[in-house]
Amino acid sequence: MPSCREGVRGVYGTSIKQSGSLRTEIGKLMPTELHHWINGQKVAGGKSRVGEVFNPATGEITSLVPFANEDEVKQAVDVAKDALLSWSATPPIQRARVMFRFKALIEENMDEIASLVSSEHGKILDDARGSITRGLEVVEFACGIPHLLKGDFTGQVGTNVDSYSLRQPVGVCAGITPFNFPAMIPLWMFPLSVACGNTFILKPSEKDPSCPLRLAELFQEAGGPDGVLNVVNGDKVTVDALLNDPGVDAVSFVGSTPIAEYVYSTAAASGKRVQALGGAKNHMVVMPDADFDQATDALMGAAYGSAGERCMAVSVAVAVGESAQPLVEKLAPRVSGLKIGPYTDPEAEMGPIVSKGALERIKTLVDAGVAQGAKLVVDGRQTTLQGYEDGFFLGGCLFDDVTPDMDIYKEEIFGPVLSVMRVPDYESALKLVCDNPYGNGTAIFTRDGDAARDFTVRSNIGMVGVNVPIPVPVAYHSFGGWKRSMFGTSNTHGMDGVRFYTRIKTVTARWPSGIRQGADFSIPTLK
Ligand code: NAD
């Protein structure tokens, strides 16, 4: 297996640093060459299929990432299958100890990991640290794996017959993750999967692969045996190779809805266990009795934090009755005054968009909103930053008078664009939420306990907040949407994660007492 453990050669033939790109004398950035991580080693990967990784704040290419082909994926699957034999037989308490060390290493290296997230995604450092902490919580949950794997036991299900169930690993698991949380979402998946005794192949987003590669190194440093956690970088070819490889037993996917649906149907058709989380359009209902200052603060963070590139971002504010006017009046100056900057600016509240393509797509949708008659109260399309003219920056945009037929309502924009929709009453707000094809998250802001309770019961959405705008469940609950935000039956992490990454085996046992039962030709009923 080709290894580049000690460093790789730069694309332009010059030797380059692993931990950061170098500049030539004329100031041109020399991109770092990234790698795969297979069997506890950096593996260079072929040169024929390579992706460019950008610093979204400067627009510069900082790294080149190899895209694995079918043979390289097969190599990773074979390694994961080999490692499964001893790892699945390792006592859960020993697997938990690896998790404890891994948790400590993530904490020790928090700043470095946050920089890797921010430099390739663009989000501000505080936000990156917060997302890593949310992933760390799953590692903490996985530290309790001996307890979580405890099965059930019933004595005397019949005379001298006992029954008990075991949770056993599923086998080789694959995780395919999106760009917007390069630490948190891989951490939703592999720590729990490997703690359950599986081995894992992670295919992170090709837009920000450096953080997942670093996490794999830390897992090894924590005592994770070679081959238990592997990272293959790539695109659709790589994903398809994982979905079609008979050696892969389970697939966890998080990303956009069309790809989630494709991954779900393709992997399920080849007999794999699949959980596939998709896109979102999250509504926050603001009732006339809400605290408008609190609701405005909540909307600012939930709509514009991480430049709106969160699956739980609020992209629609549903203003009920007379709440619309004060809400828009309070929001407008706050959106115009958003501090936009690169992640290196400690004052910045919002960074750039992840890529030029995504920036153009968002601007096109904003144009469509204007053309289709929505009122653009704050227009961030012309935003540029001095010294960062080539960065992918977009100012916050605020629309009012948005209606359900408009593209800005129908599409998941995934950018810093908030649509205010005016409805006459609570029932109309609830209907809007329930009629939307997505069902990831929603929230209600109110002082009325009755309205809040009704909303939590009747909304057909997977995660609901009451005066909490981004109700992302903690690690020991589970995360997942309804409707077109999720395909499959199992949420991620929490006990749903344990169930997804294990198979139940139920044993019914009788120890012969010397009394023969004789042959029984009817279905056994224990007496
Ligand atoms: P994406 O669907 O484009 O990519 C996700 C993953 O799928 C990546 O690893 C990518 O390489 C791979 N992929 C892309 N196209 C593919 C194809 N044609 N065939 C096979 N694999 C393919 O998503 P993204 O742009 O990286 O992330 C943003 C999306 O993810 C948004 O829709 C967001 O709502 C969603 N998301 C959902 C959740 C959730 O929990 N529901 C969380 C985060 C992000």
Give residue-wise pLDDT tens across range 329-343.
Answer: 999 999 999 999 999
| Whole-number pLDDT of residue 18 | 34
Any ligand 1 atom below 6 A from CB of 182:
no
407-430 residue pLDDT tens: 999 999 999 999 999 999 999 999
For residue 214, the one-letter residue type is R
| Whole-number pLDDT of residue 24 | 60
| Whole-number pLDDT of residue 272 | 98
Instruction: Give 252 Cα–ligand 1 centroid separation in angstroms.
Output: 12
Any ligand 1 atom below 6 A from CB of 252:
no
Pair 440, 461: CB distance under 8 Å = yes
| Whole-number pLDDT of residue 519 | 83
279-309 residue pLDDT tens: 999 999 999 999 999 999 999 999 999 999 9
71-130 residue pLDDT tens: 999 999 999 999 999 999 999 999 999 999 999 999 999 999 999 999 999 999 999 999
More confident residue, 450 or 11: 450
Closest C-alpha to 247, from 213, 317, 292, 200: 200
Closest C-alpha to 443, from 483, 478, 470: 470
| Chain centroid offset of residue 507 CA | 36
For residue 366, the one-letter residue type is V
Active site residue 311: yes
CA distance 499 to 151: 11
| Chain centroid offset of residue 437 CA | 20
* Ligand 1: residue whose CA is nearest its atom 19: 236
For residue 233, the SS3 value is coil
Question: Over 70: is that where the pLDDT of 190 sits?
Answer: yes
Q: What backbone phi and psi angles, to 5 degrees, belong to 372? A: -90, 5
Pocket test for ligand 1, best of 67, 70, 205, 277 (most atoms within 8 A of CB): 205
Any ligand 1 atom below 6 A from CB of 498:
no
483-495 residue pLDDT tens: 999 999 999 999 9
CA distance 15 to 223: 30
Query: For residue 167, what are the CA distances in angstroms to 145, 500, 505?
Result: 11, 10, 6
Any ligand 1 atom below 6 A from CB of 311:
yes
Closest C-alpha to 412, from 440, 377, 375, 378: 440
Half-sphere exposure of 469 (CA within 13 A, CB side): 22
Question: Over 50: is that where the pLDDT of 19 sits?
Answer: no
Question: Over 60: is that where the pLDDT of 499 sits?
Answer: yes
Q: Which of 173, 196, 311, 397 is catalytic?
A: 311
Q: Is the dihedral of CA 251, 252, 254, 258 positive or negative?
A: positive
Which alpha helices (H) appear in 305-401, and where do they start and end?
Answer: 324-336, 356-371
Q: How confident is the model at residue 27 (pLDDT cuts 50, 70, 90)?
A: low
More confident residue, 5 or 346: 346
Q: How confident is the model at residue 523 (pLDDT cuts 50, 70, 90)?
A: confident
Query: For residue 274, what are the CA distances in angstroms to 45, 263, 457, 491, 508?
Result: 27, 8, 28, 10, 29
Closest C-alpha to 32, from 176, 232, 235, 213: 213
pTM of the model: 0.94
